[in-house]
Chains A and B, each alone.
Chain A
Amino acid sequence: METKKTGSFLSGGTIVLLVLMAIGAYAAIYRFAFGLGASTDLQDNFPWGLWVGFDVLSGVALAAGGFTVTAAVYIFNMKKYKPIARPAVLTAFIGYLMVIVGLIVDIGKPLSFWHPLVMWNHHSIMFEVVWCITLYTTVLALEFSSAFLEKWGWTGALKVMKGLTFPLVIAGIILSYLHQSSLGAFFLIVPAKLNPIWYSPIIPQLFYLSAIALGLAMVTFESVVSARAFGREQEKEIVSGLGKGTSIALLVYLAVRVADLIVRGAMPMVFQGGAASTAFLIEIVVGVVLPMILLSMKSTRESVNGTLLSVSLVIAGIVMNRFNVTFFAQTSSGASYFPTWKEFAITIGLVSLAIFLYRLAAMYLPVFHPAGAKTGR
């Protein structure tokens, strides 16, 4: 339905996005005016819900394409992927902006969101995560700034940014490792609460490895979908390569995950039935094993639809992992939780806003085919 690159901005899809954003905005205003109790199903026994599970934990992992692709292009010099470096940075930048908005909506005192930047407790994982997210969002803003500089033709500033490419990329990769893994490390402190299927001393590393797979899957998804939406030709070679990368990342993740379960003696719990083991099996079989096998086959990777389906499974599976961890860390008290429509509305509104911003940038900035001056380095 979307018209060509320069088509009208206000397409049918955009109107849907605007409506969803408006509903989300209403829910957000309601939440700020009347508090968390009035707008969510959060309770003393279930203090972290949809917004932490999706907007923050999943959101950060979904934005992992930024550091994986810049690492591939700039550190490992895989030039083939250069055309998607800027779109990946854009997705990551928008993703982190949404994470920050999501965090501000979620915390009880939104106007105090800046406190961790001045009131330090360096023993707190949350403190570290807030700092990393702040710094990494700054890195992404700088990395993406070259798109603006190109558009405005500020060649001097562009040259400066180009010189900063390597330091920024390296800082981005390190910061990403730190906080992607720390989102898992949140749960190290609850050995008696989190279900042993997920509680592991290496849960930080598991979060990191799964974020790499998810980041690659997201970049693949985005390449395919945006090519369709903006009437570009599919970048088959890149998509196929990303599919392969995703498959390898899934294999590494799966191997570590299974080895961890065996070493900890938690394997029997996986097959004992019940909500937790069922949730785990869906997460792993549908979200990891199946797409890993599919993407390892050349025939899947050569089919745009096959690749799209496979990476969608990865996205669903690893988002489900973040939900499972959040959920099964809080059910030991017998609590139950289901998000209210306002919680859903805000999350859906944020996703819509992200797509909207992406579309805006893609239409008005040199994202896919950087102008003559070209991207950083």
Chain B
Amino acid sequence: MANAKPKGVLVDLTRCIGCRGCQIACKQWNLRGVKHTVMYGNFTNPPQLNSECYTNINYVEQDQPARPVWSFVKNQCMHCKNPACASACPVGALVKTQEGPVVYEFDRCIGCRYCMIACPFQIPKYEWDKTLPSIQKCTFCSERVANGLIPACVKVCPTQTMYFDDHDKVIAEAERRLKSSPGKYINHIYGKEEAGGTSWVYLSSQPFEDIGFNTKVPKAELPDLTWASLSKIPYAVVGGAVVLSAIAYFRNRGSRAEGTGGSDSEKEG
């Protein structure tokens, strides 16, 4: 409230040691349970985000000439500036707040799951096991942020992998790091332009497409794509009514008189 400037987080993947403290802190703050998982030949656990898991660390091992390289990739909602999920939601159950978090309101939701389809990052998850299910996803610890605190995962991280601040300062910091340590990073801030820009952005030493990022996400704001269709509706309605009335008038001119009489022209069969 005091500072309504939109917030953001820079995730510097070169700093992450894969301790998963953020996963635990997130569960504690957001009162998330656990789901049973099994060994499947990868350290990522749970293997994907789910309705009980808002954030996880993806363990990516790459065979490279000298030695294997590990990347630890934190997943969570990117909190797009203009979120596809929020525009898709028919009832406004998902909303982008002023402070930056994209938040969800169960009481409005009807469970159509269009947000899950629309999200380019596959973030919203569903409580399939419940009879009155919620959409679940990272909240950017919106209550904490609204009260001047930092998100739980950011707070607990022992290596300062995440830098939380006003969004413009976060971007400036990412650019500063790119400039001051040439060669250390891939020259790209993931999330600066993806999906029209996201509140959470990433720096990496490995090409983003190699460590599980979807690099096909368009730079455009996705809601514009559907708005292009929706915004034409008034013209379609007015134009359609005029054109159809005109056609009906001219095509029916001859038969007008006989039609009003009551039973008429219809025969055949």
Chain A residues in the interface with B (C-beta under 8 A): 32-38, 42-45, 47-48, 71, 74-77, 79-80, 82-83, 106-110, 112-113, 115-116, 119-130, 166, 169-170, 173-174, 177-178, 181-182, 185-186, 188-193, 201, 204, 233, 235, 237-238, 329-330, 333, 369-370, 372-375, 377
Contact = CB atoms under 8 A, between A and B. Distances in A.
Interface string B85-98: 00111111000000
Contacts of A235: 268-269
B16 to A, nearest CB: 24
A112 B48 contact: no
A191 B218 contact: yes
A228 to B, nearest CB: 15
A183 to B, nearest CB: 11
A64 to B, nearest CB: 16
Interface of B: 48-51, 84, 87-92, 108-114, 116-118, 120, 122, 125-126, 128-133, 214, 216-218, 222-223, 225-230, 233, 236-237, 240-241, 244-245, 247-248, 251-252, 255, 259, 262-266, 268-269
A44 B225 contact: no
A115 B269 contact: no
Given A35-B129, A116-B110, A121 B90 contact: yes
B114 A44 contact: no
Contacts of A192: 120, 214, 216-218
B90 A170 contact: no
A123 B227 contact: yes
Nearest to B109: A109
Contact of B255 (A79, A178, A193): A79
A112 B112 CA distance: 10
6 contacts: A44-B50, A107-B112, A108-B133, A121-B89, A191-B225, A374-B266
B109 A75 contact: no
A233 B269 contact: yes
Contact of B113 (A34, A47, A177, A333): A47
Contact of A166 (B113, B116, B218, B248): B248
Contacts of B120: 190, 192-193
Contact of B122 (A36, A109, A125, A333): A333
A174 B111 CA distance: 28
A131 B263 CA distance: 35
Contact of B110 (A44, A83, A115, A188): A115
Contacts of A178: 233, 236-237
Contact of B265 (A35, A79, A330): A79
B133 to A, nearest CB: 5
A127 B91 contact: yes
B128 A126 contact: no
A126 B122 contact: no
A107 B93 CA distance: 14
A330 B129 contact: no
A162 B260 CA distance: 9
Given A77-B248, A235-B268, 9 more contacts: A47-B117, A109-B111, A112-B109, A119-B91, A130-B90, A178-B236, A178-B237, A238-B268, A374-B262
